[in-house]
Amino acid sequence: MRIFRRMCPDEYSDNTYTIDFNELYMKGKRGILFDIDNTLVGHGKPVNDRALELFAELNNMGFKTCLISNNGDKRVKPFADAVGAFYVAKAGKPGRRGYLEGVADMGIRKDEAVFIGDQVFTDVWGARRAGIYSIMVKQLEKKEPFNIILKRILEKPIIAMDRLSMK
């Protein structure tokens, strides 16, 4: 059970857009690291008004932001430019490097960072390995590449056990 706990988030949220960022700021968080696909927009989709509004709000609150993605510059840079965030492309999630690079780019400490993503085996596990507080959100859309569908099947029992242990 302990090994599974190391893969699980510190908290869960229905989606990125329902997270109480004011509360995170009050708790001393100053930087938000985000996955893109199915966390901010549907898989492979461009930036949308909802994401633009969120990043403007976070900036006004005083948060620094960074996108962490295993995708290349072609996907990540235009999105980061549009929302005004730092970014780490080809981050190698669940490795620690991309998360720590994002924290360094934002000029904050790990304990001031929060990572938000929609997958256990890449997003959350990587953040946990890097020592960064993590929030797992439900995927925005069901349509995904086959390899991600397989990972979701494998992560379901881990999430179920974690949620049971939280009761």
77: enclosing H helix or E strand: helix 73-83
Beta bridge partners of 37: 41
Output the pLDDT for position 142.
Answer: 75
At residue 5 the predicted structure's pLDDT band, cuts being 50, 70 and 90, is low
pTM, entire model:
0.85
Would you say residue 1 has pLDDT above 60?
no
CA 80 to chain centre: 14
CATH class for the domain made up of 2-166: alpha beta
CA distance 136 to 88: 19
At residue 119 the predicted structure's pLDDT band, cuts being 50, 70 and 90, is confident
The token pair at 65 is 């932001």
Q: What residue segments make up the domains of the chain, in order of their start? A: 2-166
CA distance 111 to 28: 8
CB 79 within 8 Å of CB 36: yes
> Of the candidates 116, 124, 121, which has an alpha carbon nearest to the alpha carbon of residue 147?
121
Length of the chain: 167
Would you say residue 130 has pLDDT above 70?
yes
Per-state percent for the chain, helix, strand, coil, to nearest 5:
50, 15, 35
